[in-house]
């Protein structure tokens, strides 16, 4: 059995707990949290004590917020644990990888970074499509759906009580790609970002309005996450938020159109997810299995989904996969 | 530059030649063939002399017929070359893998077996889907399209002058899977196999009819390839064959439906191929790059697509893939 633990118990951490329960080869040692009590039957331990438990844990699932907590805390964790995260700030991933590689090598661990579906298995399909059809046009569409990473970023803005962000594909861009005319479209031309925010209330109407303007400005100018996109920030009441924004559907597709030999081909990879954090957790847990196997094989350092042989993700033996799935 | 060669110059071999020409990091040393002259500008060498050229070739693309030539000849080739094949007799792959592993280890080579799209990147998606959503229902649909391996098998039947086989999905099965009711369907319930055959002519009408009956019987009872399927064998004239059956479109999809946490998810991987052998060759060539890199890293033995880290398929450096595609 692979002995696992979770640090961070938001949506992702709770989903990882459920996913681990369905694995034949994993047990959950405990959840590390800054909070004293959590709504779980699993052992809850103080996040501040995480290092003390390093000898009890084979793989630590890092389920902290991607916007600030993961880059701040994961490099230290990787010195003591084989870690798996879902760090999703695409523009910062190369730097993050360098930092995590140093930590993981120092600790003789594997740091499996930026798993999930995007980054994650969407990235894998971008590399696969581009390798098979070099020079192909490639486009990723997200949504319609709620983005965990971007919602997390919204919620960290000062004055935001509650917030979600929905990514929506631009229908005109999808049609252009299907016609083979989408090669030059940028991600920010293919999507818009729609935020629903419950602002904190000061009791003073003029101050409330000023706070909302500050929140809007902080969101739409946030580098990488929102600045390059058309971003709508809509303020709603807490009651409306609770009624309309509790689901977490998501999905999307990676489309690769290219030539091989003298003919044209289309590769499509699509996801329809009922609950985004559940699926992100499912991918993260599978890569946790791979991380532990790679560590057991003597590897150390940061690894991405590009470096993982697919059979390492599966609980089934390679011989069975060859017999049943090849 | 990776020095490559091709053995076998049918549809697949010709496509591999074209695909190699588009790779930035490969050169084609020559084509090995049983025929003296081929319609190519590349150096043509006798297949019987292939071993003499082992020191000139890093990767040998095995483009022989899958039905009989690959299992008969590839094990000997793997003793002398790092090979990449598209062996597609699913039921025989485990035995073939064992034989190829022994040969490749003996020769200190990599034998990359059963690449292409199915087996190949469809298999990869079956493993990925099953690893992320353990216990999921999974279904592969092929076509509508022409199957190279099955057409090859048809053409090897005694008395067949020309022949093609189209795989067609059963529309009722697709609808059942979309409704979530397809879990128990077998591959042979999801598809039918439609063969168009030009029979040799004896000049004697009664003998011709007898030959056709023998051909039909040989095809529909062929183990693995046709016996488990509803198979239609239609005899046509050579003129009709030349007019209607020169294209080689294909495609299909792998659908995985399963639970993670407490929610349901659908993963779809689809291909729309204008010309099947061109795309099969594109996959084979990408896995050739991976085979050579694995060999250079000191690995030997048989390998499947399940054992290849995705970045090894791409001509782009890993750091660039991380920066651009993760």
The overall average pLDDT reported for chain A is 94
Gap between the Cα atoms of A65 and A147, Å rounded? 12
Mean pLDDT to the nearest integer, A140-146: 89
Mean pLDDT to the nearest integer, B177-200: 86
- Looking at the complex, does the CB of residue B45 fall below 8 Å from at least one CB of chain A? no
- Residue A307's nearest CA partner among A317, A297, A321, A315 is A297
Tell the residue number behind the tokens 């890993």, with chain if given: B318
Tell the residue number behind the tokens 């099965």, with chain if given: B173
Mean pLDDT to the nearest integer, A149-154: 92
- Looking at the complex, does the CB of residue B268 fall below 8 Å from at least one CB of chain A? yes
Backbone angles phi and psi of A217, in degrees to 5:
-65, -40
B94 to chain A: closest CA residue: A323
pLDDT above 90 for A149: no
- Looking at the complex, does the CB of residue A224 fall below 8 Å from at least one CB of chain B? no
pLDDT, position B222? 96
Q: How far away is chain B from the Cα of A125, in angstroms, using its nearest Cα?
A: 9
pLDDT, position B178? 66
pLDDT, position B115? 98
pLDDT, position B202? 86
| Residues on chain A touching B283 (C-beta within 8 angstroms) | 132
- Looking at the complex, does the CB of residue B283 fall below 8 Å from at least one CB of chain A? yes
Partner-chain residue, chosen from B119, B133, B321, that has the shortest CB–CB distance to A282: B133
Confidence tier at A281 by pLDDT (50, 70, 90):
very high
Query: Are the beta carbons of A127 and B313 separated by less than 8 Å?
Result: yes
Radius of gyration over every alpha carbon of chain B, rounded to an integer in angstroms: 21
Mean pLDDT to the nearest integer, A98-105: 98
Mean pLDDT to the nearest integer, B214-234: 95
Query: Are the beta carbons of A306 and B311 separated by less than 8 Å?
Result: yes
Mean pLDDT to the nearest integer, B33-50: 92
pLDDT, position A246? 87
Gap between the Cα atoms of B107 and B130, Å rounded? 34
Strands A59-62 and B137-142: unpaired
Handedness of CA A173, A176, A177, A178 (dihedral sign): positive
pLDDT in tens, B271-321: 999 999 999 999 999 999 999 999 999 999 999 999 999 999 999 999 999
pLDDT in tens, A159-212: 999 999 999 888 788 777 766 777 788 878 888 999 999 999 988 999 999 999
Whether B238 contacts B166, CB under 8 Å: no
pLDDT-above-90 percentage for chain B: 83
Gap between the Cα atoms of B83 and A94, Å rounded? 34
Query: Are the beta carbons of A131 and B315 separated by less than 8 Å?
Result: yes
How does DSSP classify residue B108?
A: T
Gap between the Cα atoms of A126 and B284, Å rounded? 18
pLDDT-above-70 percentage for chain B: 99
pLDDT, position B322? 98
pLDDT in tens, B119-131: 999 999 999 999 9
Q: B24 among the known binding-site residues?
A: no
- Looking at the complex, does the CB of residue B176 fall below 8 Å from at least one CB of chain A? no
pLDDT above 80 for B60: yes
Gap between the Cα atoms of B224 and B206, Å rounded? 31
| Residues on chain B touching A316 (C-beta within 8 angstroms) | 130
Backbone angles phi and psi of A231, in degrees to 5:
-125, 130
pLDDT, position A178? 67
Partner-chain residue, chosen from A23, A260, A275, that has the shortest CB–CB distance to B134: A23
ipTM: 0.86
pLDDT, position B249? 87
Gap between the Cα atoms of B113 and B107, Å rounded? 16
pLDDT above 90 for B233: yes
Gap between the Cα atoms of A218 and A228, Å rounded? 13
| Residues on chain B touching A266 (C-beta within 8 angstroms) | 270-272
Reported as type and span, the H/E element at residue B190 is helix B187-190
Q: Return the number of CB contacts < 8 Å for A and B.
A: 221
Q: Is B168 helix (H, G, I), strand (E, B) or coil?
A: strand
Query: Are the beta carbons of B275 and A286 separated by less than 8 Å?
Result: no
- Residue B249's nearest CA partner among B124, B152, B164 is B164
Gap between the Cα atoms of B161 and B156, Å rounded? 9
pLDDT, position A186? 83
- Looking at the complex, does the CB of residue A91 fall below 8 Å from at least one CB of chain B? no
Whether A76 contacts A48, CB under 8 Å: no
Gap between the Cα atoms of B36 and B45, Å rounded? 8
The overall average pLDDT reported for chain B is 94
Mean pLDDT to the nearest integer, A216-233: 95
| Residues on chain A touching B268 (C-beta within 8 angstroms) | 268-272
Gap between the Cα atoms of A254 and A192, Å rounded? 17
| Residues on chain B touching A268 (C-beta within 8 angstroms) | 268-272
pLDDT above 70 for A102: yes
End-to-end Cα separation, chain B, in angstroms: 26
- Looking at the complex, does the CB of residue B320 fall below 8 Å from at least one CB of chain A? no
Query: Are the beta carbons of B307 and A307 separated by less than 8 Å?
Result: no
Mean pLDDT to the nearest integer, B168-182: 78
Please report the beta strands in B42-81, taking only residues with DSSP state E, as ranges in sequence order: 44-46, 59-62
Gap between the Cα atoms of A64 and A225, Å rounded? 17
Reported as type and span, the H/E element at residue B165 is strand B160-169
pLDDT, position B246? 87
pLDDT, position B170? 86
A268 to chain B: closest CA residue: B270
pLDDT in tens, A38-75: 888 899 999 999 999 999 999 999 999 887 899 999 99
Q: How far away is chain A from the Cα of B278, in angstroms, using its nearest Cα?
A: 5
Whether A286 contacts A312, CB under 8 Å: no
């Amino acid at each position: 059995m692979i002995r696992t633990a979770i640090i961070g118990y938001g949506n992702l951490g709770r989903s990882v707990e459920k996913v681990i329960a369905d694995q034949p080869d994993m047990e959950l040692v405990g959840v590390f949290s800054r909070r004293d009590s959590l709504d779980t039957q699993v052992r809850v331990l103080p996040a501040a004590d995480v290092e003390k438990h390093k000898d009890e844990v084979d793989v630590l699932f890092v389920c902290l917020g991607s916007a600030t907590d993961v880059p701040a805390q994961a490099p230290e964790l990787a010195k003591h644990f084989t870690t798996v995260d879902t760090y999703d700030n695409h523009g910062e991933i190369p730097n993050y990888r360098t930092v995590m590689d140093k930590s993981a090598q120092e600790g003789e661990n594997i740091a499996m970074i930026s798993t999930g579906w995007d980054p994650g298995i969407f990235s894998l399909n971008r590399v696969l499509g581009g390798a098979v059809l070099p020079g192909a046009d490639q486009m990723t569409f997200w949504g319609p759906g709620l983005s965990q990473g971007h919602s997390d970023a919204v919620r960290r803005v000062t004055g935001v009580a509650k917030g979600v962000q929905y990514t929506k594909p631009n229908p005109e861009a999808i049609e252009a790609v299907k016609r083979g005319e989408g090669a030059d479209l940028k991600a920010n031309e293919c999507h818009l970002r729609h935020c629903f925010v419950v602002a904190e209330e000061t009791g003073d109407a003029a101050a409330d309005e000023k706070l909302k303007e500050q929140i809007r400005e902080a969101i739409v100018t946030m580098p990488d996450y929102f600045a390059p996109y058309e971003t709508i920030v809509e303020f709603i009441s807490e009651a409306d938020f609770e009624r309309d924004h509790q689901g977490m559907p998501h999905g999307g597709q990676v489309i690769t159109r290219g030539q091989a030999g003298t003919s044209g081909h289309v590769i499509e990879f699509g996801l329809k997810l009922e609950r985004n954090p559940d699926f992100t957790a499912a991918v993260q847990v599978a890569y946790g299995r791979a991380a532990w196997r790679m560590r057991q094989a003597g590897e150390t350092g940061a690894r991405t989904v590009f470096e993982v042989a697919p059979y390492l993700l599966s609980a089934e033996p390679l011989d069975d996969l060859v017999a049943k799935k090849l």
